[in-house]
């Protein structure tokens, strides 16, 4: 299994027989090198979206058309894109599980907001979400944009993820200290990878507080386009 950070909250996940692009945002992403785009999307089989904000959906429609792959996510947003944009989609909802090339992807709750930009203001884009992705002997929790929430207790107990990809940049999501608290209280991660940080000065620039708050857990500060083997 390989995981590659694409900057901000974007990841390329190679798992089972799938290559999943999670929240791909290339255009305008200060952390993503434009010359790496072809490498980042090569062989992609699915695009997985956590919510509608532009820093998560930015290149989704263009990639879906270019690569001919389905976009996977909350039913409201995916069904809208299927009818309005003509893309292929797999829409589902909280508690549902879909098979993506042998990886079992379950949608779980997140606590944030979700909208698309419109000419007269934000447009409803379904509900924000996270995912539990099971495959190759691991369960990965992709938190999506979220704060700490009580749902994490049953999510950790039921799904038992050993890898956490946690939004932890603060201001719009949990910060590093809050993410460490959530990981300690609700989960038993072996590995934690922070995201949604470093992108802008407004966000946290270091994961040191997460590292300090999780003794005994391997915290990996990802590097853009440097694959992590799990």
Sorted by sequence, the CB contacts under 8 Å of residue 104 that are 6+ apart come out as 97, 98, 133, 134, 135
Question: 6: closest CA among 30, 39, 40, 56?
Answer: 40
Question: 223: closest CA among 94, 32, 92?
Answer: 32
- Write out pLDDT tens, residues 132-191: 999 999 999 999 999 999 999 999 999 999 999 999 999 999 999 999 999 999 999 999
What kind and span of H or E run contains 65? helix 60-67
- Write out pLDDT tens, residues 61-118: 999 999 999 999 999 999 999 999 999 999 999 999 999 999 999 999 999 999 998 8
Does residue 17 surpass a pLDDT of 90? yes
Provide the pLDDT for residue 100: 98
């Amino acid at each position: 299994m390989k995981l590659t950070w694409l900057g901000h909250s974007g990841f390329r996940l190679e798992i089972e027989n799938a290559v999943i692009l999670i929240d791909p945002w290339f255009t305008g992403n200060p952390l993503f090198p434009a010359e790496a785009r072809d490498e980042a999307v090569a062989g992609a089989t699915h695009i997985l979206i956590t919510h509608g904000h532009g820093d998560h959906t930015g290149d989704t429609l263009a990639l879906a058309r270019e690569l001919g792959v389905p976009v996977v996510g909350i039913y409201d947003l995916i069904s809208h894109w299927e009818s309005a944009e003509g893309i292929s989609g797999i829409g589902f909802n909280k508690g549902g599980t879909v098979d993506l090339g042998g990886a079992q992807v379950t949608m779980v709750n997140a606590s944030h907001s979700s909208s698309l930009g419109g000419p007269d203001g934000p447009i409803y884009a379904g509900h924000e979400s996270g995912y539990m992705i099971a495959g190759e002997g691991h369960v990965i929790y992709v938190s999506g944009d979220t704060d700490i929430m009580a749902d994490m207790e049953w999510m950790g107990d039921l799904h038992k993820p050993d890898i956490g990809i946690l939004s932890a940049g603060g201001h719009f999501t949990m910060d590093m200290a809050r993410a460490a608290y959530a990981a300690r209280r609700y989960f038993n991660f072996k590995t934690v990878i922070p995201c949604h940080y470093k992108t802008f000065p407004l966000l946290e620039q270091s994961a040191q507080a997460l590292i300090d708050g999780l003794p005994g857990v391997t915290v990996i500060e990802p590097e853009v386009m440097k694959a992590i083997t799990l």
